[in-house]
Amino acid sequence: MSTESNSNGLAPVNLEPIGECRVLRNIDDQPGIDTVEGTMVPLLTGQKIRSHVIVMHPGQYCDAHPHETESIIYTVSGRWVFCTHEDGEEVRTVINQNDLFHFPGGVPTGFETPFDEPAVILIVKSGTESYEEMAAGIGEAKVMMENAAAEGEPFYYKDLDPDHAARQYARQVAGRDPVEAG
């Protein structure tokens, strides 16, 4: 069992050392931090990689924005809408359970959750920080997102105009407006 923890009080649960390797038993049992982008759960870090889960709740919206590092994302459960830019235009696609995709660093990416069920995604990306540093970074991101929301940045469909492209796409793929359904 690991004794790693940080100022957020997070520590991996049921982390078993096996030789020089580690097994994290049951990611569903791991502690996380609730943010306006969903519940972020740090999982494991390695020498040059890190992983975490985000539980994205129905009705959430996150505008496409760039991340410094590339990521590989696996959808553990649920479905959600991935948004990026192509030829200067926003493009969207539904990502389903068991879908796996990659995005390079510096590419704007966002997500939307117009469906009734939450979506759980596993993110693996480059990084050399420890579990403690990764968890602290999630805590810092929570505060930054709360400040952005307080300043008017939209994080939910209800924050968008009815004719916003994300709400129009949601009506197409979910068969209803996520604000009216919620």
Domain ranges of the chain: 32-181
Q: Which fold has domain 32-181?
A: Jelly Rolls (2.60.120)
Is the CB of residue 103 less than 8 Å from the CB of residue 84? yes
With tokens 């480059």, the residue in question is 126
Written as tens digits, the pLDDT of the chain (182 aa) is 233 444 567 888 888 888 788 888 888 889 999 999 899 999 988 889 999 999 999 999 999 999 889 999 999 999 999 999 989 899 999 999 999 988 888 999 999 999 999 999 999 999 899 999 999 999 999 999 999 999 999 999 999 999 999 999 999 999 999 998 66
List, as own/partner pairs, every contact residues 88-92 make where C-beta atoms lie below 8 angstroms and the sequence separation is at least 24, other chains included: 90/64, 90/165, 92/165, 92/166, 92/169
CA-based nearest residue to 160, from 22, 61, 52, 66:
61
How far is the CA of 105 from the CAs of 8, 68, 102, 145, 181, in angstroms? 27, 5, 10, 20, 35
Is the CB of residue 113 less than 8 Å from the CB of residue 80? yes
Please tell me the distance from the alpha carbon of residue 115 to that of residue 98, in angstroms, as a whole number: 16
Q: Which pTM was predicted?
A: 0.84
